[in-house]
Amino acid sequence: MNIAVIGQGYVGLPLSIQFARSGATVLGLDIDNHKVDALNQGKSYIRHIDAATVAEQVKSGRFSASMDFRRIAEVAAVIICVPTPLNKNREPDISYIVNTGKTVAPHLQKGTLVVLESTTYPGTTDEDLREVLEKGSGLKAGTDFHLAFSPEREDPGNPSSVVATIPKVVGGFTPECLKRAMQLYGMAIKTLVPVSSCRVAEATKLLENTFRSVNIALVNELKVVYSAMGIDVWEVINAAKTKPFGFMPFYPGPGLGGHCIPIDPFYLTWKAREYGENTRFIELAGEINTAMPDYVVHRTTDALNDGKKSVNGSRILILGLAYKPDVDDDRESPSYVLMNKFKERGAEVAYYDPFVPIIRLTREHPHWAGMRSVVWNRETINGFDAVLIATNHKAVNYQELADWSACIIDSRNAMAGIKTKAGQVWKA
Ligand SMILES: NC(=O)c1ccc[n+]([C@@H]2O[C@H](COP(=O)([O-])OP(=O)(O)OC[C@H]3O[C@@H](n4cnc5c(N)ncnc54)[C@H](O)[C@@H]3O)[C@@H](O)[C@H]2O)c1
């Protein structure tokens, strides 16, 4: 089977590789020529995706990347994995989906299946995407071509999270569309979960991400409350998670990061307004989670103050720029928010991240582009007035950190089990 995967990012690339491994011939389409060139040379630009695996599939002839969207005419199925960010007013920006639909439409053939995977609000597939596809192709969804939605469930950096074995939810525009989509994914994915419509599939993904956002907000709030009571929230969570039923551990942090959890719930909030409904849980969780960097700044201020220092004029090192451990993904990372806040207060800010040697240009924080990670040695680390652990990468030697830094602010409980001196570590 010939398929095209549009958007060769964190979601589209592993999916393409999985289909190629399963015997499909996969055309990876993207508008970024650097990515396309790298992939065709068998290179991976995502740390947790093994270059050898990409190279193997390129060599086998089952995977190639391209910027030529006319080749959509050659494939039986098109899977769309493009970004779905929020705009400046924190409203859904589905322009990537709409533009992709406009690009696909003129090349769409009768009988082709189009599946959207990007996280979005219910109605995107059967309203917004359908409209541009039908208008640009002159074909009718459900009659001339097939349309479906199937959300991605990627967990970057988790070695046991493998595309082939994560159950996949699939919803079709018509029963026949669902059947075609099930046939497609059945080639490459072990367990499929059919649902009655594209909207149910879209809503399922939003439930999953909202669930995480709300539960993280709960433990973030408890972190602040318990800290005031002199109780360590991490110890509490570790004790609570021994309950064999009815409890699932979530962990506090310096704020939400990544492409999904800080963004996706607000897709639902926006759509709910169209129906005159409010999403109070989502708003409250967002409020608590976005207040976390301020709490961490407050704790850092206390820690410095304890050593008779002020934030203004201090040298502060942010440890971990990626939004979660063991990945190189810095999108929406709270580390940037923390860096901004310390800079605004007159601190000299630097960062260390073994996976992000240099800061690339980001949409939200362009002023940090080009900054390089400091080197990891006693002299450098010792030169900072405070080190703030924002991400707990396993590759960092926390015992060395304890030996080299007098003031550590730990927002991830990374120093648990490390030999430290009294008053050296401030949980935040
Ligand atoms: N990263 C994750 O862990 C994750 C998990 C689940 C769901 N998702 C969702 O999957 C979608 C994609 O996320 P991602 O992390 O892969 O994003 P990404 O930024 O890593 O990749 C998107 C790719 O699409 C390309 N692109 C943008 N516009 C395009 C266009 N018009 N035509 C062709 N290519 C285009 C970009 O160059 C990029 O390579 C989003 O909706 C996201 O919410 C992401």
Q: Give the pLDDT confidence score for residue 356 in this predicted structure.
A: 96
Ligand 1 atom nearest to 35, measured from its CA: 39
Backbone angles phi, psi at 256, to 5 degrees: -85, 150
- Reported as a single tens digit per residue, the pLDDT across 373-425 is 999 999 999 999 999 999 999 999 999 999 999 999 999 999 999 999 999 99
Q: Give the pLDDT confidence score for residue 131 in this predicted structure.
A: 98
Q: Give the pLDDT confidence score for residue 154 in this predicted structure.
A: 81
Residues classed as catalytic:
260
* pLDDT at residue 219 is higher than 80: yes
Q: Give the pLDDT confidence score for residue 155 in this predicted structure.
A: 81
Four-residue CA torsion sign, 105, 110, 115, 120: positive
Ligand 1 atom nearest to 155, measured from its CA: 3
Between 23 and 48, name the one with better pLDDT: 23
What is the number of alpha carbons within 13 Å of residue 32 lying toward its C-beta? 10
* pLDDT at residue 160 is higher than 80: no
Q: How far apart are CA 372 and CA 357, in angstroms?
A: 6
Cα of 306 vs its chain's centroid, Å:
36
Q: What's the 260 CA to ligand 1 centre distance in angstroms? A: 11
DSSP 19-36: HHHTT-EEEEE-S-HHHH
Pairing mode, if any, of strands 25-29 and 408-410?
Answer: unpaired
- Reported as a single tens digit per residue, the pLDDT across 360-377 is 998 789 999 999 999 999
- Reported as a single tens digit per residue, the pLDDT across 252-284 is 999 988 888 888 899 999 999 999 999 999 999
Which residues' Cβ are closer than 6 Å to ligand 1?
A: 6-12, 29-32, 35, 81-84, 96, 99-100, 118-119, 152, 154, 156, 259-260
Q: How far apart are CA 60 and CA 43, in angstroms?
A: 14
Q: What predicted TM-score, i.e. pTM, was given to this entire model?
A: 0.93
Q: What's the 12 CA to ligand 1 centre distance in angstroms? A: 7
First to last CA, the chain: 52
* pLDDT at residue 40 is higher than 80: yes
Nearest to 24 by CA among 164, 165, 173: 164
Nearest to 128 by CA among 152, 102, 91, 151: 102
Cα distances (Å, whole numbers) of residue 55 to 5, 14, 63, 158, 187? 17, 13, 9, 22, 21
Collapsing DSSP to helix, strand or coil, 234 comes out as helix
* pLDDT at residue 156 is higher than 80: no
Four-residue CA torsion sign, 4, 174, 261, 325: negative
Nearest to 49 by CA among 161, 153, 199, 202: 161
Between 47 and 203, name the one with better pLDDT: 203
* pLDDT at residue 158 is higher than 80: no
* pLDDT at residue 161 is higher than 70: no
- Reported as a single tens digit per residue, the pLDDT across 123-132 is 999 999 999 9
* pLDDT at residue 157 is higher than 80: no
The residue to mutate among 37, 39, 81, having the most atoms of ligand 1 within 8 angstroms of its beta carbon, is 81
Q: Give the pLDDT confidence score for residue 410 in this predicted structure.
A: 98
Q: How far apart are CA 294 and CA 304, in angstroms?
A: 15
Q: Give the pLDDT confidence score for residue 90 in this predicted structure.
A: 85
Q: What's the 18 CA to ligand 1 centre distance in angstroms? A: 17
Q: How far apart are CA 53 and CA 235, in angstroms?
A: 40
Task: Tell me which residue has its CA closest to atom 15 in ligand 1.
Answer: 10
- Reported as a single tens digit per residue, the pLDDT across 271-329 is 999 999 999 999 999 999 999 999 999 999 999 999 999 999 999 999 999 999 999 99
Ligand 1 atom nearest to 119, measured from its CA: 41
- Reported as a single tens digit per residue, the pLDDT across 69-117 is 999 999 999 999 999 999 988 899 999 999 999 999 999 999 999 999 9
Q: How far apart are CA 241 and CA 358, in angstroms?
A: 38
Nearest to 147 by CA among 188, 107, 197, 190: 197
Q: DSSP alpha helices (H): ranges in 196-279?
A: 198-228, 233-240, 264-274
Q: What's the 134 CA to ligand 1 centre distance in angstroms? A: 23
DSSP 276-329: T---HHHHHHHHHHHHHHHHHHHHHHHHHHHTT--STT-EEEEE--SSSTT---
CB 29 within 8 A of CB 4: yes
pLDDT above 70 coverage of the chain, percent: 100
Which residues, 6+ apart, have CB-to-CB distance to 83 below 8 Å? 7, 9, 96, 118, 259
Four-residue CA torsion sign, 93, 97, 100, 106: negative
